[in-house]
Amino acid sequence: MLTRDELPPRTGPWATRFDSESALVQAEDALRAAALQNHDLAPILTFEAVYGEGENCLGKATAIAIDPRRPYTPDGEVNYVHADFSTRGLLFGVYRPAAEIEETAASESDLDLWNTTVYPYPGGYEEIDPATVPLADLGLDVPGIDRRFVHFCAGILGVEAVDDLGMLRETFDLAWPDYQDTIRAGLKHLVANQPMTVEQWFDLTYVQFPDQRELRAYLAQVYAYLFDDFEAMPVAPQ
């Protein structure tokens, strides 16, 4: 089975970073609290929810991309653009339960989580915003599925964390039963009914599949990997 270090580098359209250690710590504290409160291993919060509104969001993170509409300036220089986090910022976290949770957790509020990744990302441009998109727009407004499944797709199966699925798998069965249930129901629904197009999947995850058949096969493998002891970690296309 391929490990994270054996996979080629994967990048999305934006290069992002936190601008200070304090901004990172504040984001991680808020995301961890949301994970515990909402039983969500892939919480997504808006910048305003963590840092406050407007100018309070400035100086917390930077995102740079090459403008796809005009990749070069008239002088031939690469045309980089910056995201405006004061109005469109999102914070992603990916967590996994600690292996010793069953022995040490006195209650659900004491659940120990390991951090896999925390990162800032622009939101609300042309892509699908996982924090606000109606479930019906993705064909996910069905019994057993809630917002946490959208977070799972955008965060855990998204471009920044999809190759870390192997770290999640070994402790996934220690997650909250209601969380496992919504992920199980969501993956089954996507495989059986294929409500999302490959274009929607890219807009949500920044992972591009060549066609619907390949996306369906991949999601079936993710289900088998997490719930049916399928040995090989599914590898999304680069």
Q: Dump pLDDT digits (tens) for 125-164.
A: 667 899 999 999 999 999 999 999 999 999 999 999 999 8
CA distance 15 to 78: 15
Query: Strand order in 80-82's β-sheet?
Result: 15-18, 61-66, 80-82
More reliable by pLDDT, 71 or 33: 33
CA distance 96 to 187: 19
Treating both helix axes as pointing N-terminal to C-terminal, what angle do 198-205 and 212-227 enclose, rounded to 10 degrees? 60
In tens, the pLDDT along 214-230 reads 999 999 999 999 999 88
Number of CB atoms found within 10 A of residue 187's CB: 22
Confidence of residue 104 (pLDDT cuts 50, 70, 90): very low
Rg (CA), the chain: 18
Confidence of residue 67 (pLDDT cuts 50, 70, 90): confident
More reliable by pLDDT, 124 or 94: 94
Residue 99 scores a pLDDT above 80:
no
Residue 174 scores a pLDDT above 70:
yes
> What is the per-residue pLDDT for 211?
96
